[in-house]
Amino acid sequence: MTEKGTSGIEKLRAFADDATELLHDVADQIELRHRLDVDEAVKETEDELGERLMPEGLEWPRFEDGEPIAYGDAPDGIAAVMVMLDGSGYELIDMPDYAVRPRGERVKRPKPEVLAADCLPIKVGDTVYLESFGRPFTVVGFDGAYLKDANGGYLRADCATHTPPDTQEQIDEDALMDAGKYVAGHPEAARLREYPTSFSAKQAMMADLLRRQRILDGVEK
């Protein structure tokens, strides 16, 4: 606001600043109201379309917690929702159990995949290994980020791998393999065959065996 003792130009400049600030406030309020109106209109349109698309007495499929099922839900992804025209039920295409569900039945929410350190999913019945040593661990269940075995043991999923750790015996045995067969079964060796290293099969095999030995000896991670 303007103050006494200021010049006319200063008063006009102060008035202009106050007016500009007021206009900005009004513009912000209009934009906010417009955004709220648009959001409300979109919601009302979605609700209206949902009512028109579904047979009478049949609502859009929902999970047990009441959340509507969306495209791509479930481990294998839901490709489509098929409803019975008489309103008696619905079917979720590509859902694992792939069954027709009666009207009003809720869908059990699928559990998220549990990944091992090798980024592969872990399932009940899998045999995995702790990265630091080779004792096998058969998975019978899950407890958050932990795997459970039949003996009541626990293992963090991100410390487990599907590939048993190397042993000296395994390295010694692999050293007697044909170079071509070795490279075909060991991705790290196969990569050495590619550009820019372009090793021969024998060179790639020797380099990979040395790498594995260094890791086993604790020289390299």
Residue pLDDT, tens place only, 114-152: 888 878 889 889 989 887 666 788 999 888 888 998 888
Cα separation values, 109 from 53, 82, 112, 177, 213, Å: 24, 18, 9, 48, 46
pLDDT for 50 beyond 60: no
**Could you tell me if 12 and 29 lie in one domain?**
yes
| Of the residues 53, 69, 89, the one at which a domain ends | 53
Task: State the residue range of the domain holding 205.
Answer: 168-216
**Region 17-35 average pLDDT:** 65
Task: Give the pLDDT band (50/70/90) at residue 164.
Answer: confident
Give 4-22 pLDDT, tens digit per residue. Answer: 555 656 756 665 566 667 6
- Alpha carbon dihedral 14, 16, 19, 21, in 10-degree steps, equals -70
Amino acid 6: pLDDT: 57
| Of the residues 43, 75, 110, the one at which a domain ends | 110
**Could you tell me if 118 and 101 lie in one domain?**
no
Residue of 29 and 177 predicted with greater confidence: 177
Which of 82-86, 144-148, 151-155, 163-167 shows the lowest per-residue confidence on average (mean pLDDT)? 82-86
Half-sphere exposure of 186 (CA within 13 A, CB side): 26
The answer to whether position 221 is within a domain reads no
Q: What percent of the chain has pLDDT over 90?
A: 16
| Of the residues 138, 161, 184, the one at which a domain ends | 161
Q: Give me the number of domains the chain comprises.
A: 4
**Could you tell me if 127 and 147 lie in one domain?**
yes
The answer to whether position 37 is within a domain reads yes
Amino acid code (one letter) for 121: P
Residue of 206 and 79 predicted with greater confidence: 206
**Could you tell me if 66 and 99 lie in one domain?**
yes
H/E run at residue 102: strand 100-102
Q: Supply the mean pLDDT for the chain.
A: 76
Amino acid 2: pLDDT: 44
| β-pair partners for 142 | 147
The answer to whether position 7 is within a domain reads yes
Amino acid 1: pLDDT: 46
In the block, tokens 């000896």 appear at 217
**Could you tell me if 150 and 106 lie in one domain?**
no
The answer to whether position 199 is within a domain reads yes
* Phi, then psi, of 114 in degrees rounded to 5: -105, 125
Amino acid 78: pLDDT: 64
pLDDT for 76 beyond 50: yes
Q: Alpha helices of the chain — where are they, by DSSP H?
A: 8-53, 168-174, 179-185, 187-192, 201-216
Question: Which of 193, 46, 174, 138 is CA-nearest to residue 130?
Answer: 138
* Phi, then psi, of 133 in degrees rounded to 5: -155, 165
**Measured distance CA(205)–CA(213) in Å, rounded:** 12
**Could you tell me if 41 and 72 lie in one domain?**
no
